[in-house]
Structure 1
Amino acid sequence: MSQEAIVTVAPMFGVLDITILVGAATFGVFWLVKKKFESSSSPPPENSFKIETRLTSMHSDDRSFISKMKNQNRNIVVFYGSQTGTAEEFANRLAKEAARYGMKAMVADPEEYDMEELVKLGEIENSVAVFCLATYGEGDPTDNSIEFNEWLQNGEVDLSCLNYAVFGLGNKTYEHYNAMGKFVDKRVEELGGRRVVELGLGDDDANIEEDFVTWKEKFWPAVMDFFNLEFKLQDISMRQYKLVSPPMDLPQEKIFKGEIARLRSFTNQRPPFDAKNPYLATVKAWKELFKGGDRSCMHIEMDTSGSKLRYDSGDHVAIYPVNDSELVQKFGDLLNIDLDTLFSLQNIDEDSTKKSPFPVPCTYRTALSHYVDITACPRTHVIKEIADYATNQEDKEKLLLLASNNPEGKAYYQKFVLDDCRSLLHILEDFPSCKPPLDMVCELLPRLQARFYSISSSPKVHPTAVHVTAVVVRYTTPTGRINKGVATTWLSSKKPEDGVVHTVPCYIRKSQFRLPPRVQTPIIMIGPGTGIAPFRGFLQERAFLKSEGRPVGENVLYFGCRKKDHDFLYEEELNSYVQDGVLKLRVAFSREQAQKVYVQHLLKEDAKDVWRIIGQENGHLYLCGDAKNMAREVLETLILIIQTEGNMSEADARSFIKKMEGQRRYATDVWS
């Protein structure tokens, strides 16, 4: 500041003014200190009930799993890569069992920890890192293990001090079966890691529970042998949480009512919206797409105005469903408990970062409706836990047999639980003397997961709405029971009628299923049934671009259904695209003639055109729908077309498909 400025400012304050200002400031500081002291010295309210916040930010120290293991005297860390919750469930079971072998384990989400610390795990005596990793989509890592996967792929660290084991979770109906588990097992070994037990692979298309239990039976003896430890089993309780009764006068605003993570997030919505903070989208349209028969297919439009949610054609929308209220009530009736009773579950392990299995406090009705999967086939460890509560000896013996690992027990579990599609509720009905505590049931059941649907709209045409196309799942089991899909049954009741407003908790999951960057690039779309969903978005987008005068490439759609008059989805809309010159449509009606016709048969008929587009014009090919049968048969048909029309051997034809995949010209969005 210049001397002139000082001279100009100085006369504004005299000695008296300064004295008054200093006195006021001194009094202000004294008053603030006094209030702070009074606040800190006052006793806390008695019988206060702590509500764990579900959204916590991690400090730098919290990202160190090595520090936690050292401070808490743990020597096993179990990392999980989970999309549907199964890998996390297996990780928790494995960690809990460590105590039986005189060890102490922690469960860790790789997204929340500094995975570079794996190089330091050798600092802990007799340490092991276990990776329970699911493969998502087309050989991709789950959302929470993407960064870990990239680190392993690109890093050249020394992991010679790391003892490790891997259990992969996959589905053999997918081409890239257990790709993540296989990659991590191989890559860690390449970086110097010492494998404690052979890679375990679980197949969800068969019996992934048996696969896990079989691998787990090998894992623990291998660990004991690896460290030359004495094999002594200890009896422990497999319960991870204890029942806590909240105060009777707990205010309603402190009780969870279905929120995924943050208390009152459904009444006080604020972006960004994601898996832990879904947006409550209003259902603005609901339409039945099937014209006949006893099945139902829904077209649902959800309003996302004001949410700042953005999507691209081909993305997925994740929807959090609610369990059937009648099934929920049956638990209360069978176990003789008032479902509106408030309860909480608290982790027995005080050092664990996971304080409760789901948001608490809440009522049993809320937990059974929003937080736990009551329709899934129960795992063997769940059946073993509830067997102790059977008062009838015959019931108890059968339940223990179901939970046993011997060949007879495994065969019984396969038939009675998996083949007959029994849920835990069905088992409680079939063994009426078994009355486990409901809080234990809520702890043992897996978390109810979000359901993913291919978005059937384009943001170019519907920027503030997301469309979903879904068949209502309903089938009769071998025991004569009617099983219903959780999400589709719930969505089927969301018709905006009589002024009733329905909302759906949702968020957007980005996908690699994308239109070509150049709009002139020709595309082939293969999507029978609801596999048409993403292609409806593709066609909306290309029709929109064409209407703006853009030169749009050729669009060919292979659609399949049973009968033209029953389940030809979006028939009028597709025909309008044909008339406007946007689309070439080929439809296979499988049940309108003596011999069934499917999309792969039409592809064979059009072999020359298919090869022209993908082999000569560098077009893109997309496949969406059933992974178990349709996707495999279509792939084999494509390989045959490439062989014959491209004059290649089978090996070269398969390499051609692989090359297309690498160039993002061949993409699949399939499910089993």
Structure 2
Amino acid sequence: MEFPRWPLTILYGTQTGNAQELAERVAREAHRRWFEPEVMPMDDVEKKTLPRRSMVVFIAATTGQGEVPDSMKSFWRFLLRKSLAAGVLSNMKCAVFGLGDSSYVKFNSAAKMLAKRLKTLGASSVVEMGLGDEMHPRGIDGAFLPWVKGLFERLDTLFPMPEGKEIDPIDQLPPPKYQVEEVTGVEATGVGANPFLTRLSATEGIAPSPLHPFRATIVANQLLTPEGHEREVRHFSFNTANSGMQYAPGDILCIMPVNLDETVDNFFLHSGLNPKMIVKIRNSNAKLSSAAEMFGDSISLRDLAKYFLDLNGMPRRGYFEMMAKFSKTEMERDRCLLFASPEGEEDYEAYARRERRAYWETLQDLPASVPSLQYLIEMIPVMKPREYSISSAPSVHGDEIHITVASVQYVTRTKRERYGTATTWLSSLSPGDSVPVWVKKGSLNLAKAMSSPIVIVSPGTGLAPFRSFLLERREKIARGEAEKAPAMLFFGCRWEKVDYLYRDELEGLLEDGTLSGLSVAFSRDNPDGKKEYVQDKIKEVKSDVAQTLLQDGSFFALAGSSGRMPRDVRAAVEEAVDESGREGKAFIADLIRHNRYLLETWS
């Protein structure tokens, strides 16, 4: 009788899919070491089974202002129940890894809170918590690779292999996530049309959501920057009448993107698959939610590629580990294994991260390593919705929702042209075209600052949520629904005549008193070549900044790219407060503690 595999539960909380990808990498390695891994979102685990689970790996992303991600929310609420006894998880051994961004004040707070709560409930940790950082030169892998190495060194001791058994060879395939069956003699349920667009929430009476988006019609697709400019920014307006969607300043419009036909054609050219083939896709694990909820009862491979697979996404290390299992030549196998190994870190960086290599391109570059259909649809992740800060004001724009979008277009070090899937697709659309959308709460809770003193910092398209806020504030003041209070805006762009977004509106807000101060930094306009940034503008009027922030109930809010900018801005604000006679660091810490220091950044 064969010794049964050790049970291992791997639970993830993800917002963008990165935590899920890491969880699946852990599961593949665990299966090689005589474990029977069960991978699922934290919200999907049956709560009453937790005390019986002897070894659990938790992988948790942090989102927004230090919040838990959507797929972890109900699980987290369950763990916080006061009715749970202190030792309810005393049978559980666990390991925790977090995904975060150190440019945020509450770095990796979801994982830290989770680890602390698990300990309170009696769970014992087998390894030190790992904290991945998007700002690390090697991204999340900078912390994940050493953490997962230490995890399995510890698990090998706690859960040894049966006598006579060895770790599975690296080229042995793990059990597939999906069962794929070709269907003949029928038409696919979604051939020729975006499957998402067949689920119209207005007719079904269902609130718009990822599985049931609303079909919003484009009213305007307006170029805000000069034609042909390298950093194109567009203003989009969508008609959402009869959608039932409501939003507040700071909320997010989610859009399901579509792969361009050229990308889809390249995928089929290099994968060797027949785009006309119709398949049924089902989860191999019956305990997981049905794949039919996503893919439908049947679907053509072309629709699968066009509307679901993230063909332009950047492959992670685990993808190359799987490709190696399909390699038909030793040279390609060794190359894939190098990309997947810690020793090949620099090679992976050069090939994938720095060049932003796409999944479909790996099939072109490694033609002897193309996976089978069953594994390929598992290895290439499902496309995630793109999230855009809403730039319209609900009291002003009624049934229209606006977003302000910077097109992603750039050239890599080796002169390869890159473009963003969603922004390129959106740019190609015209008024009358429709887009699947829904609204979700954003991390910038600006509604509570409607009558409060506020200092706003918003380089580039970071202006979007604050356009919403300021236009809404002006309207509410006019209606007597909000009180007038100081509002200083620091906006940054490159050139005054190129990307000073919504200039007439901003100067109108200053003129009518909605804004008490407007400072604009143009980083490329100075004749002497010296670059000027938003933090420099803050220093120019630091006494006014301090005077605004030191009023009772004041807010500070920033939206823009992560990296140095948020830290430099914070240092400038601390300096302003210091020179007013208060201690700047302590003051900012107090704003953070009372949720009045609001950040939304992206890499």
Same fold (TM over 0.5): yes
Task: Determine helix, strand or coil for the equivalent of 2:498.
Answer: helix
Q: Assess, with a 3 A threshold, how the Cα gap between structure 1 residues 290 and 162 changes in structure 2: closer, same or farther.
A: same
For 1:345, the equivalent position in structure 2 comes to 281
TM-superposition CA deviations, 1:321-345 (whole Å, max 9, x none): 1112211110111233332221233
For 2:90, the equivalent position in structure 1 comes to 160
Match of 1:103 among 35, 59, 71: 35
On the 8 A contact 2:5/2:34 being kept in 1, the answer is: no
On the 8 A contact 2:236/2:404 being kept in 1, the answer is: yes
For 1:178, the equivalent position in structure 2 comes to 108
TM-superposition CA deviations, 1:31-82 (whole Å, max 9, x none): xxxxxxxxxxxxxxxxxxxxxxxxxxxxxxxxxxxxxxxxx99722211101
1:400 & 1:113 partners in 2: Cα distance? 33
| 1:210-225 paired onto structure 2 within 5 Å | 211-225=143-157
Shift of 1:390: 4.3
1:400 aligns with 2:330: no
TM-superposition CA deviations, 1:246-279 (whole Å, max 9, x none): 432224447695435x975589654211122211
1:364 aligns with 2:301: yes
Task: Determine helix, strand or coil for the equivalent of 1:207.
Answer: coil
1:161 & 1:248 partners in 2: Cα distance? 50
Match of 2:514 among 575, 582, 599: 582
| 1:233 counterpart letter in structure 2 | I
Of the structure 1 ranges 276-285 and 151-160, higher mean CA displacement relative to structure 2 is found in 151-160
For 1:470, the equivalent position in structure 2 comes to 405
On the 8 A contact 2:202/2:242 being kept in 1, the answer is: no
Q: Assess, with a 3 A threshold, how the Cα gap between structure 1 residues 248 and 422 changes in structure 2: closer, same or farther.
A: same
Shift of 1:154: 5.3
| 2:12 counterpart letter in structure 1 | Y
Match of 1:197 among 106, 109, 127: 127
Shift of 1:350: 4.8
1:318 aligns with 2:251: no
| 1:364 counterpart letter in structure 2 | L
Task: Determine helix, strand or coil for the equivalent of 1:624.
Answer: strand
For 1:606, the equivalent position in structure 2 comes to 541
| 2:532 counterpart letter in structure 1 | V
Q: Assess, with a 3 A threshold, how the Cα gap between structure 1 residues 508 and 351 changes in structure 2: closer, same or farther.
A: closer
Please, which runs of 5 or more residues in structure 2 have no aligned partner? none
| 1:367 counterpart letter in structure 2 | L
Shift of 1:187: 2.6
For 1:297, the equivalent position in structure 2 comes to 233
Q: Assess, with a 3 A threshold, how the Cα gap between structure 1 residues 617 and 102 changes in structure 2: closer, same or farther.
A: closer
Shift of 1:89: 2.3
| 1:532-571 paired onto structure 2 within 5 Å | 532-549=463-480, 551-571=483-503
Task: Determine helix, strand or coil for the equivalent of 2:195.
Answer: coil
For 1:444, the equivalent position in structure 2 comes to 379
For 1:233, the equivalent position in structure 2 comes to 167
On the 8 A contact 1:383/1:403 being kept in 2, the answer is: yes
1:637 aligns with 2:568: no
1:90 aligns with 2:32: no
1:620 aligns with 2:552: no
| 1:318 counterpart letter in structure 2 | C
Number of aligned positions between the proteins = 585
| 1:587 counterpart letter in structure 2 | V
Moved over 6 A (4+): none
| 2:71 counterpart letter in structure 1 | N
2:192 & 2:119 partners in 1: Cα distance? 45
Match of 1:131 among 58, 65, 74: 58
Task: Determine helix, strand or coil for the equivalent of 1:575.
Answer: helix
Of the structure 1 ranges 189-198 and 515-524, higher mean CA displacement relative to structure 2 is found in 515-524
Instruction: Tell me the C-alpha RMSD between the 2 structures.
Output: 2.7
Identity of aligned residues (%): 30
2:222 & 2:582 partners in 1: Cα distance? 47
1:284 & 1:562 partners in 2: Cα distance? 28
Shift of 1:438: 4.2
Match of 1:515 among 446, 454, 462: 446
| 2:316 counterpart letter in structure 1 | R
Q: Assess, with a 3 A threshold, how the Cα gap between structure 1 residues 392 and 73 changes in structure 2: closer, same or farther.
A: closer
On the 8 A contact 1:259/1:265 being kept in 2, the answer is: no
| 2:549 counterpart letter in structure 1 | I
1:414 aligns with 2:349: yes
Of the structure 1 ranges 606-615 and 435-444, higher mean CA displacement relative to structure 2 is found in 435-444
Match of 2:504 among 572, 588, 597: 572
Please, which runs of 5 or more residues in structure 1 have no aligned partner? 1-71, 122-126
Shift of 1:380: 2.3
Of the structure 1 ranges 531-540 and 187-196, higher mean CA displacement relative to structure 2 is found in 187-196
Shift of 1:392: 4.5
TM-superposition CA deviations, 1:71-100 (whole Å, max 9, x none): x99722211101011212222333344332
On the 8 A contact 2:202/2:214 being kept in 1, the answer is: no
Match of 1:381 among 318, 322, 343: 318
TM-score normalised by L of structure 1: 0.81
Shift of 1:303: 1.1
